[in-house]
């Protein structure tokens, strides 16, 4: 009986995910096709009847036909796309649901080996607006400590805790953020943080800039968010110049 119930639950969840995709596809493509069909029909009527008053009727008829045909086509495409999607998406806009984001974080945690890279724990936070944070963990107390304190006291490296604040995050942003924070996790774990701390003259602002440049470069190397990360690298390099580096 449990196997049957579980099978029904799995089928139901899968079906709803597919329906989410179908609704989104129908709304998006139907809307675009309605607009295109309306404009085309409106101008077509104007040309045929020779006056602008005919635009409204042509627009209405074209929008109706375009919307229906586009909605059917978009719904089908959306259904198939959702069916092939690994993570659950929401009804209207097709973005990841909260459970979809949690599942994605778990997937990327494994894919990019955060625990093997020195992550003591990986958390999620659906209340914060920041992308993510990495906090150093004291090897003695197990409590979170400041990064500058960690690199100063523990030159051989420390574990860290990574928290993703996933509000308004797309799947791509979640993956890029995991890559970004993994660079911080690795630097703290391998003792690179101490080397960078010394390079910065133990100036925290310079240290932060150097760490951020490394993290944004890591995301670029994976081919994610080129313009954003180039912009952030430029920003942090400017901060270093202001500080005399």
Nearest to 79 by CA among 36, 15, 143: 15
Q: What is the CA radius of gyration of the chain?
A: 26
Per-residue model confidence as pLDDT tens digits over 121-172: 888 887 766 678 899 999 888 899 888 889 889 999 999 998 888 777 888 8
| β 160-165/119-125 pair status | parallel
Q: For 83-189, where are the E strands, in sequence order?
A: 119-125, 132-137, 144-145, 160-165
**What is the mean pLDDT of the segment spanning 14-34?**
51
Confidence of residue 244 (pLDDT cuts 50, 70, 90): very high
Q: Which three-class secondary structure state does DSSP give residue 122?
A: strand
Distance from C-alpha of 133 to C-alpha of 147, rounded to nearest angstrom = 11
pTM higher than the cut 0.85: no
Give the DSSP letter string of 121-185.
EEEEESS--SSEEEEEE-TTT--EE-HHHHHHH-TT---EEEEEE-TT--HHHHHHHHHHHHHHH
Cβ–Cβ under 8 Å, residues 162 and 134:
yes
Side-chain half-sphere exposure of 8, counting CA atoms within 13 A: 5
**What is the mean pLDDT of the segment spanning 85-99?**
72
Tokens for 24, please give them: 């989104």
Start-to-end C-alpha separation, the chain: 68
Cβ–Cβ under 8 Å, residues 169 and 129:
no
Length of the chain: 245
Q: What is the pLDDT of residue 180?
A: 95
Nearest to 197 by CA among 219, 214, 216: 214
Distance from C-alpha of 68 to C-alpha of 117, rounded to nearest angstrom = 51
Tokens for 36, please give them: 């295109």
Query: Could you tell me what percent of the chain has a pLDDT over 70?
Result: 62
């Amino acid at each position: 009986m449990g196997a049957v119930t579980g099978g029904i639950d799995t089928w139901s969840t899968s079906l709803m995910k597919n329906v989410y995709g179908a609704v989104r596809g129908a709304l998006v493509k139907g809307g675009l096709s309605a607009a295109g069909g309306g404009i085309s029909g409106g101008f077509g009527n104007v040309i045929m009847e020779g006056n602008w008053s005919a635009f409204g009727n042509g627009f209405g008829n074209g929008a109706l036909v375009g919307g229906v045909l586009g909605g059917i086509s978009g719904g089908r495409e959306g259904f198939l796309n959702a069916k092939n999607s690994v993570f659950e998406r929401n009804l209207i806009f097709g973005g990841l649901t909260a459970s979809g984001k949690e599942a994605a974080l778990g997937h990327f945690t494994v894919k990019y080996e955060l625990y093997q890279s020195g992550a003591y724990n990986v958390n999620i936070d659906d209340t914060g607006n920041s992308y993510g944070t990495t906090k150093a963990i004291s090897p003695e107390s197990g409590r979170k400590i400041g990064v500058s304190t960690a690199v100063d006291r523990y030159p051989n490296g420390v574990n860290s805790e990574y928290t993703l604040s996933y509000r308004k995050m797309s799947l791509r942003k979640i993956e890029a953020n995991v890559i970004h924070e993994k660079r911080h996790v690795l630097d703290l774990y391998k003792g690179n943080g101490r080397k960078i701390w010394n390079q910065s003259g133990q100036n925290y602002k310079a240290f932060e800039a150097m760490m951020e440049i490394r993290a944004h470069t890591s995301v670029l190397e994976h081919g994610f968010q080129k313009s954003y990360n180039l912009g952030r690298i430029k920003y942090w390099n400017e901060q270093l110049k202001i500080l005399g580096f």
